Structure 1
Amino acid sequence: MIYGYARVSTNGQDLAQQLAQLQAAGCTKIYREKLSGASAERPQLKRAIGALDPGDVLMVSAIDRLARNTRDLLNILHAVKEAGAGFRSIAEPMVDTTSQFADVIIAVLGIAASYEHARITERTAAGRTQARARGVKFGRRTALTPHQQAEALRKLDAGDTQRTVAALFNVSQATISRLTGR
């Protein structure tokens, strides 16, 4: 059996063209989704993969209708393979796991996923470095302003307990404890 999967990510888009392509390609059951591909929670995709039996084929009009990145695509292809089924893309005929070149295609996609992951890591690190150079601070904001911190330390030095000072500033005792390093 040939199953189809069609997805649009915005209300302004229409599934009609994808549905026509999938029906022309021989899909007997088509799962429709109106969610972003960036979302890992795509119930219709899960239903389509869950319906696959050995020898079935999951078909899409184009890869970008199925996955936003190579890693996501590899995960989906793995799930399809685990079901004993194949996968085909109408727009990218070379992505056909039912052909004799399936292992080569998946290996190339794996290399692309690895490269994509490395590039994302590099861009993220470069962005953090640039942000730090601009003075951006990372992590949670402190519960107390510098003025409140100085006031809390003065109260502690005057003999107030950490619990009392914490209650005064409406913070936890641990917050006050971290100020003193005690």
Structure 2
Amino acid sequence: MEERDTNTPDLFTGRMTFGYARVSTTKQGFEGQIDDLEAAGCNQVFADKVTGRHQNRPELQKMLNKLRAGDVVIVTRLDRLARSTRDLLALVEQIHETGATFKSLSEPWADTTTPAGKMVMTIFAGVAEFERSLIAERTEKGRQEARKKGKHLGAPKKLTDEKRAALLELLAAGKQPGEAARIFGVHRTTVHRVIREEESKKLRRNKD
């Protein structure tokens, strides 16, 4: 993780041009990205190294916190900023909410500093929203068809009724949840869920 900072705003407009770079392994370097961003006129470059499952990007957040109206955010490629379409659109929207604009050096159409670029990104967002609506509609239609056919929705049961009864007998006999989980080949959370469900049933019966 590193940061290059000249911190010199445009003398005429007072705006800042921020660059953002990201690499996914500790063995990769930022040099190529940072050189391109500085050549594009970035006053300050933020860079994150995101390794393995560690998804925190402190430099990105630091840059977003600095944004003011009129500033520009530049990346060398869209995949340096986001890992998915949804992530990209959310981050671009966050940038726009500050009054700043965004552009990618490798994807000229992704440039909200121009009217044409704004229009393309708006269309892009609309297509993504349309796609999400279609997926939601197909999912709901599938659920309705499954319910009509009497199919079980959701995750399959890990314990049959017979195994559940046997598990409860073991617990009543003094077995610990962890030991019972090993015997039945299920996760300990499954055993604790069964315990909670049984306690809820007892409470309801007592109320009745």
- 1:51-80 deviation digits (Å, cap 9, x = unpaired): 111111000000010011111111111111
Aligned to 2:100: 85
Aligned to 2:165: 149
**2: distance between equivalents of 1:119 and 1:41?**
31
Aligned to 2:91: 76
Q: Is the 8 A contact 1:5 1:31 kept in 2?
A: yes
* Cα gap change, 1:106 to 1:167, in 2 (>3 Å): farther
Consecutive unaligned residues in structure 2, runs of 5 or more: 1-15, 147-153, 178-191
- 1:69-99 deviation digits (Å, cap 9, x = unpaired): 1111111111111111111100011111110
Consecutive unaligned residues in structure 1, runs of 5 or more: 130-136, 156-164
**2: distance between equivalents of 1:59 and 1:37?**
25
Q: Is the 8 A contact 2:110 2:120 kept in 1?
A: yes
TM-score by length of structure 2 reads 0.61
**1: distance between equivalents of 2:38 and 2:93?**
25
Q: Is the 8 A contact 1:38 1:68 kept in 2?
A: no
**2: distance between equivalents of 1:49 and 1:101?**
24
Q: Cα RMSD (Å) of the superposition?
A: 3.8
Aligned to 2:63: 48
- 1:105-140 deviation digits (Å, cap 9, x = unpaired): 2222213422554687679x99xx9xxxxxxx9267
Match of 1:63 among 78, 97, 117: 78
**2: distance between equivalents of 1:120 and 1:28?**
42
Which structure has the higher relative contact order (CA within 8 Å, separation 6+)? 1
| Matched AA of 2:102 | F
Q: Aligned to 2:174, what secondary structure does the other structure show? A: helix
Shift of 1:18: 0.5
Aligned to 1:138: 155
Q: Aligned to 1:20, what secondary structure does the other structure show? A: helix
What is the percent sequence identity of the aligned residues? 32
**2: distance between equivalents of 1:6 and 1:30?**
7
Q: Aligned to 1:149, what secondary structure does the other structure show? A: helix
